[in-house]
A = this chain, B = another copy of it.
Amino acid sequence: METLRERKKQRTRDALTRAALELFTSRGYEQTTVDDIAEAVDVSQRTFFRYFANKEEAALAVEELTVGRFIESVRERPAHEAPMEALRQAVLEGWDTLNDVVESVVPVELYLRMYRVIESTPVLLAAHLRRSAETEEAIARVLAEREGLDVETDPRPRLTVAVFSGVMRVTERQWSVGEDFSLDAIRALTVAYLEQVGPALTGDWRTA
């Protein structure tokens, strides 16, 4: 972020992101055109597409930040933690530090509202899920490295991440449709649901 040029670019990008989220959350994703966003920031439509490959990317830009942090977070977990435990700690840490990561670009509250829009807009949800799949792959590689395994031959890293991500998806969804839209709420859900996985898998739900 040295030169004036770079700072200017960053400002434009942030402004576009903010304008996009503002419009998406107030008016809806489909009801917002790229021209609307560009106009709000007073740049040409073409410029928007120089910053974002497509409309979705603007919608998911903030999330991208948090995902990046999450991957780093897993990589930095102490080596003695078992894979699942490392993932769990990294996510919880993620919720705790969300504020710092996000607030530099948009108000956290706006980001949280955007989450709801993503969950309820089919094309955004689709894009979100695909990115999650990419994240899973990245995490699987990190786990494999931690444990000294080859991700191509040993399925356990990918399986573990897939299971973990499955649980997180359910958590996100539940949170997004719930009343309590706070970070505390999602933190609590995360802990609760991860604890339930074991019991849920062991089958006999009627006696438990």
A84 contacts partner chain B, Cβ-Cβ < 8 Å: yes
Flag A74-96 by CB within 8 Å of B: 1 or 0 each.
00000000111100000000000
Which chain B positions have C-beta within 8 A of A163?
A: 163, 166-167, 197, 200-201
- Nearest-neighbour CB distance to chain B for A81, whole angstroms, equals 9
Q: How many residues of A contact B (CB 8 A)?
A: 40
Partner of A193, one of B125, B159, B193: B159
Partner of A170, one of B129, B158, B203: B158
Which chain B positions have C-beta within 8 A of A158?
A: 170, 173-174
* Known contacts A163-B166, A166-B165, A167-B162; is-contact A156 B200 (Cβ 8 Å): yes
Instruction: Check A203 against B84 for contact (C-beta < 8 Å).
Output: yes
How many copies of the shown chain assemble into the complex? 2
A130 contacts partner chain B, Cβ-Cβ < 8 Å: yes
A169 contacts partner chain B, Cβ-Cβ < 8 Å: yes
A206 contacts partner chain B, Cβ-Cβ < 8 Å: yes
A3 contacts partner chain B, Cβ-Cβ < 8 Å: no
* Known contacts A159-B200, A197-B159, A197-B163; is-contact A133 B205 (Cβ 8 Å): no
Instruction: Check B149 against A205 for contact (C-beta < 8 Å).
Output: yes
Flag A128-147 by CB within 8 Å of B: 1 or 0 each.
01100100000000000001
Which chain B positions have C-beta within 8 A of A130?
A: 122, 125-126, 129
Give me 10 A-to-B residue pairs in the complex whose CB atoms sit less than 8 angstroms apart, sorted by A's number: A84-B201, A126-B127, A129-B133, A155-B174, A156-B200, A156-B205, A158-B173, A163-B167, A163-B201, A197-B201
- Nearest-neighbour CB distance to chain B for A199, whole angstroms, equals 7
A182 contacts partner chain B, Cβ-Cβ < 8 Å: no
Instruction: Check A160 against B122 for contact (C-beta < 8 Å).
Output: no
